[in-house]
Structure 1
Amino acid sequence: MLVDIAVIGNGPTARLATHALCECGADVVMIGPDVDRSADPRTTALMPSSVDALDQLGIDVRTRATPLLDLRIETTGPFGIVSELFTAADAGEAFLAQNLFIRDLMAVMPDVRQHKATVTGVRTSADSVRIETDDGREVRARLVVAADGLQSLAREAAGIRMRKKPLGRSAFCVPVRLERPHERLCIERYDDTGTLTLIPVAEHDASLITIAAPDEIAALATHSDETIERKLTRRQDTFGHIGFAGQKAIFPLALGFTPQPARERVIVIGESAHIAPPIAAQGWNMSVRDIMTLKSLLATATANGDDIGSQEVLDAYAPRRQLDVAGRLSAIGALAGVATRPAGPQKLIRQAGLAAIGQFSGLKRGLMRAGLR
């Protein structure tokens, strides 16, 4: 099989990229095994800019999503509890984010051409990339878009290097059921343990993320579910009892970045290109920006009759994305250093910073707009 573009992966990033790049007039196929996501408990929060981008592609997530209208940030410290409310109106937006289950995100995306197989090998050459699959077939493409995650086989085959920086923190994530309705309020709490965030979805459900030192998270995980639920509810009881509604996940936090995201007719996007911890909800929103940038680049190249996989075309991608990616990852890293550590100086910085934001409405609006767009 010979195609213009092969997108490797089977998640929302790969599906969206395949759909978007078809609009460039290219022959595009997504390669990855079929996965049943009907029971997937994960959610993703889409910023207004991402919702706008999906609208441009004919995808309306609002039919399945929960709009997040308010965000309350709380931090404990030498001044007791300092709290500040951020609203969509503060940023001049209709919502702060649209939060929905991954299964619902996949459901609202159009069907795309897919070769349902696992990639077993990727071989680059001067004029094409050969992709081998476990069903014995081979796909040749002028360009490969790697959306196959952290352990990207295509990224490694092209010799694209990812720089990783461990943050010395771990996250405990679990879907939860709340005793009382959340009324579209997201809460982030910074306390003596670390952080605890509740991101609403549906009416009584939420995604819970707590970040702390690895030994703290490991110790928490040794308890029964009932004990963990009680501990988490004591830390954040705004919505009453917190009960688990799905599978727990624990993972170390790191930042990752590919200085040269395109070479050898392979371009990496999403988690294949950058790793962001679940802080400030930037992960999949950066993936959407990757896709929209690539779509614009390839549309221009196609209109000009250029070889879409040539290094001349691919060299234009990094300058359009790397400044944004590096800036957001730097901000997330700085926030993680201050927000997730319970030591005295960090507590003071958090409280003083939050109080200052509350005093200066212009600063507050500016920070919100930068984060949401």
Structure 2
Amino acid sequence: MKKKFDIIIVGGGMVGATLALALSESDYQIALIEAFPYQSQQQPSFDDRSIALSWGSVQILKSLSLWDSFKQFATSINKILVCDRGHFGLHRISAVQREVPYLGQVICNRDCGEVLWSQLKIKQNIQIFCPATVSSLNIGSENKILQLEMDNEQIELSAELIVAADGAQSKVRQMAGISVETADYDQAAIIANIQTQIPHQGLAIERFTKTGPLALLPLQDRWSMVWMVPKAEQESMVQLTETDFIKKLQPILGYRLGKITKVGERAGYPLQRLKLNNLYNQGVVAVGNAAHSVHPVSGQGFNLGLRDVAWLTELLLGAAWQQISPGSDELLQRYQLKRIADTNRTLAVTDILARLFANENSLLSLARNLVLSGLSLCPPADHWLSDTAMGLQPPLPKLACGLTLEEIADDYQSC
């Protein structure tokens, strides 16, 4: 079987599915390829982890007319507390201080999958190939050719643009010859949902410890926890009984929230930094975790990927009006220029935080605590930090500024 499309998106996880929906109101014919059904236990994207959507990310989802479906599952972040365990450093950010209704929203990945895939199935210009795997890629011509295996059948798909949205270990990125730089943090993230005696009341906590950061996000009647530990301890931490795990976690968290009363099922995964010097090659472009993997210290991974989606969507809508091929070097070079500063800044900030707050050197410890405590006395630095956390660092894509897809298309037509 052979089929031709304008755009092929490989990866139907959080970023790939959102990109497909963002383009669903355009005239592009789109193929979406995903290896696992979204409800499958093997689906790595839509599990029980949670994501913190920044203010800017919520604006993008609103502009894409997706937020109304998401918000029933979301919990507002009204305050953020950043502290260094055992030291005096402390910093607070609040929605009241920033004069916004919330700083961000927290939502479970599984609920995201339900929302995204329920809408994907009804879009007329999106054809879904799932479960399907890519077996080969030929990028030597204007139309790139993908070979798929699906239901024991070989399928050939061609398109002018192929988007690699298949995660940090992207097979398509590798096939396209896009080189990658990686760095191992020698840490693992332990994730679980926990409950405490004192409810969260919209508070998010980032607590730095000598083993690694501990993040708590408010999620309905519980907390979503991400605890960074030495990689060698990953398996043993996951295997601990609930009682023994609480005994380890409680001293790290302290008693600001009272006692930990319940810990849900735990999982762990190693942490790695991933960066591309070039986001594209011959009509193949990487987005989301296929383009960058950041330390979860500040919860910016999906927010960064969503800005990839917003910028690529904006440029593709313009290309359609200007009759430029979606896979042209001209368009993809523009995309890379739009993404480089944001990506490098986010990678640098998360990398510095991860390494600085895990270092127990006494001088560094004193310096970082002075910085934390002094941020509120330095409004420019305080605003820069909160703008970064809220996804408001310029330049922003039009979708993050509240423009709808129709308004962006009209903007191009009026030029």
TM-score bracket for this pair, using the shorter chain length: over 0.9
How big is each residue's C-alpha offset from its partner over 1:247-278, in whole Å with a ceiling of 9 and x where there is no partner? 32131x22211111111211110000001111
**Partner SS state of residue 298, structure 2:** coil
Asked if 1:106 is matched to 2:113, the reply is yes
Corresponding residue number in structure 2 for 1:53: 60
Corresponding residue number in structure 2 for 1:81: 88
C-alpha deviation, 1:218, in angstroms: 6.0
Structure 1 residues 317 and 149: alpha-carbon distance in aligned structure 2, compared to 1, 3 A threshold: same
Asked if 1:246 is matched to 2:265, the reply is yes
**Partner SS state of residue 51, structure 2:** strand
Structure 1 residues 169 and 25: alpha-carbon distance in aligned structure 2, compared to 1, 3 A threshold: same
**Contact map agreement 2:210 2:357 (CA 8 A) in 1:** no
C-alpha deviation, 1:98, in angstroms: 0.5
Asked if 1:355 is matched to 2:383, the reply is no
- TM-score normalised by the chain length of structure 2: 0.83
CA distance in 2, matches of 1:31, 1:338: 40
Corresponding residue number in structure 2 for 1:164: 182
Corresponding residue number in structure 2 for 1:189: 207
- Paired residues for 1:212-227 under 5 Å: 212-215=229-232, 220-221=237-238, 223-227=240-244
Picking from 116, 129, 142, the partner of 2:130 is: 116
Picking from 73, 89, 104, the partner of 1:64 is: 73
Corresponding residue number in structure 1 for 2:248: 231
How big is each residue's C-alpha offset from its partner over 1:184-243, in whole Å with a ceiling of 9 and x where there is no partner? 11112223443222111112x222122243345566456433211221122223332153
CA distance in 1, matches of 2:175, 2:281: 10
- Paired residues for 1:179-328 under 5 Å: 179-203=197-221, 205-215=222-232, 220-221=237-238, 223-236=240-253, 237-239=255-257, 240-251=259-270, 253-328=271-346
C-alpha deviation, 1:170, in angstroms: 2.9
- TM-score normalised by the chain length of structure 1: 0.92
How big is each residue's C-alpha offset from its partner over 1:117-157, in whole Å with a ceiling of 9 and x where there is no partner? 32232222211122222222221112111110011111111
C-alpha deviation, 1:88, in angstroms: 1.4
Compute the RMSD of aligned alpha carbons: 2.0
**Contact map agreement 2:193 2:225 (CA 8 A) in 1:** yes
Corresponding residue number in structure 1 for 2:407: none
- Count of residue pairs the alignment pairs up: 369
CA distance in 2, matches of 1:307, 1:222: 51
CA distance in 1, matches of 2:319, 2:211: 51
C-alpha deviation, 1:311, in angstroms: 1.9
CA distance in 1, matches of 2:376, 2:330: 48
CA distance in 1, matches of 2:329, 2:171: 20
Corresponding residue number in structure 1 for 2:37: 34
Is there any run of 5+ residues in structure 2 with no aligned partner, and where?
A: 393-415
Is there any run of 5+ residues in structure 1 with no aligned partner, and where?
A: none
Structure 1 residues 185 and 11: alpha-carbon distance in aligned structure 2, compared to 1, 3 A threshold: same
Structure 1 residues 100 and 222: alpha-carbon distance in aligned structure 2, compared to 1, 3 A threshold: closer
**Contact map agreement 1:211 1:217 (CA 8 A) in 2:** no
**Partner SS state of residue 365, structure 2:** helix
